[in-house]
Amino acid sequence: MQLEQGNIALKNKDSKLDNRAILLVKCPDKPGIVSVLSTFLYKHNANIIESSQYSSDPENGKFFIRLEYHCDNLQAKAKEMEEEFVQIAKDYDMTYDFYYRKERQRTAIYVSKELHCLRELLWEWQNGDLDTDIVVVISNHEDARPIVESYGIPFYYIPANKDIRKEVEAKQIQLMEEYNVDLLILARYMQILTPDFVGHFENRIINIHHSFLPAFIGAKPYDRAHKRGVKLIGATSHYVTNDLDEGPIIEQDVERVDHRDDVETLKKIGSKIERRVLARAVKWHLENRVIVEDNKTIVFH
């Protein structure tokens, strides 16, 4: 009986999302934009349930807005609304996207030997706090196989090094296409991706870097942080670009440390920060709360 009730609750939740959508817009800032957008939604009897906006400069700046709305019979209206919005976007020089809550993104996770970030993502996903379908996990080691397969998720072991990187990435791209993946998460995947691979998934690869960027980029940041006697350590989650560890930053966090903390202690503290920072960044991406502008992000929490 409990299982049946659970299925009914899940079905009811999904049905509520059928009529929910998100509109993300960026454009040159000028008077009247909010009015135009709200009038457009009102015309289609859509009720705005969440609105967040930001202007980089009220004079000749950029305007960014996220509107989440409910609209009865949305599936039947969506095409008409999108077609009508084309002219509005042209008039105001808007870059925009419509996202529909009923359409869950399909996610792949890449991992190497350190599994703490993978475990956190799987836990959040199992709890229902990550609104996605984790469809495949890929690793260059076998360490993650037991935990991944215990969740019923396909696991692929693909050895990787710089000498066979081209062949490895060709196979990975093929798998991403086979599983129709929308988002790639690098959960401590310790391989550098080539420009060709990154180019296939622009602003769709999220990485966790075990340092508070831009300090201590690259390998062994905790060793170098310890040598410098830092008083704060942190982690950074960002979109992957072809500039190593310099993609648009989505989320960061820190914790205080002191001279008593050795390298191993720093790593333990750091792993906790990494887990929560990556999970938050992924959650905000999945909820379409992130707009990328040049090499920075606007994140509507």
Residues 6+ apart with CB under 8 A from 6: none
Catalytic residue among 29, 182, 245, 261: 245
Rg (alpha carbons) of the chain, rounded to whole number = 21
23, 69 contact by CB (below 8 A): yes
Q: Which of 296, 225, 300 is nearest to 266 (CA)?
A: 225
Is-catalytic flag, 93?
A: no
Q: Which residues contact 53 (CB under 8 A, 6 or more apart)?
A: 34, 63, 64, 65, 66
Contact between 294 and 246 (Cβ < 8 Å):
no
CA distance linking residue 83 with residue 79, whole number of Å: 6
Give the active site residues: 245
